[in-house]
Amino acid sequence: MTGDVLHAIGNIFRPASPPADSIYSLAMLVLAVCLAIFLSVAGVLTYTIIRFRRRPGEADREPPQVYGSNQIEIAWTVIPVLIVVVLSMATARVTSEIQNKKPPEGAVHATVIGHQWWWEIRYPALGIVTANELHVPLSTAAQPRPTFIRLESADVAHSFWVPLLAGKTDAIPNHPNSMWIEPRVEGTFLGNCAEFCGLQHANMLLRVVVQPADAFARWVDSERLTARHDHQGERVFMSLSCINCHAVSGTRAAGTFGPDLSHLMSRQTLGAGLFPNTPENLRRWIREPQAMKPGNLMPNMQLDDRQLDQVHGYLSSLR
Interacting residue ranges for ligand CUA, rule: CB under 6 A: 114, 117, 158, 193, 195-197, 201, 204
Q: Which is nearer to ligand CUA, 203 or 211 (CB)?
A: 203
**From the CB of 290, what's the least distance to ligand CUA, in Å?**
19
Q: Which is nearer to ligand CUA, 184 or 201 (CB)?
A: 201
Q: Which is nearer to ligand CUA, 201 or 229 (CB)?
A: 201
Residue type, 18: P
Q: Which is nearer to ligand CUA, 114 or 187 (CB)?
A: 114
**From the CB of 193, what's the least distance to ligand CUA, in Å?**
3
Name the strand (E) or helix (H) holding 121. strand 118-123
- How far is it, in rounded angstroms, from Cα 182 to Cα 98? 11
Can the peptide bond before residue 118 be classed as cis, meaning omega within 30 degrees of 0?
Answer: no
- CB contact set of 5 (below 8 Å; sequence gap of 6+): 186, 187, 188
**From the CB of 174, what's the least distance to ligand CUA, in Å?**
16
- How far is it, in rounded angstroms, from Cα 263 to Cα 278? 14
8-state DSSP, 119: E
Q: Which is nearer to ligand CUA, 149 or 204 (CB)?
A: 204
**From the CB of 173, what's the least distance to ligand CUA, in Å?**
12
Q: Which is nearer to ligand CUA, 79 or 199 (CB)?
A: 199
Secondary structure (H, E, C), 228-255: CCCHHHHHHHHHCHHHHCCECCCCCCEC
**From the CB of 21, what's the least distance to ligand CUA, in Å?**
26
- How far is it, in rounded angstroms, from Cα 26 to Cα 21? 9
| Half-sphere exposure (Cβ direction) of 64: Cα atoms closer than 13 Å | 2
**From the CB of 196, what's the least distance to ligand CUA, in Å?**
6
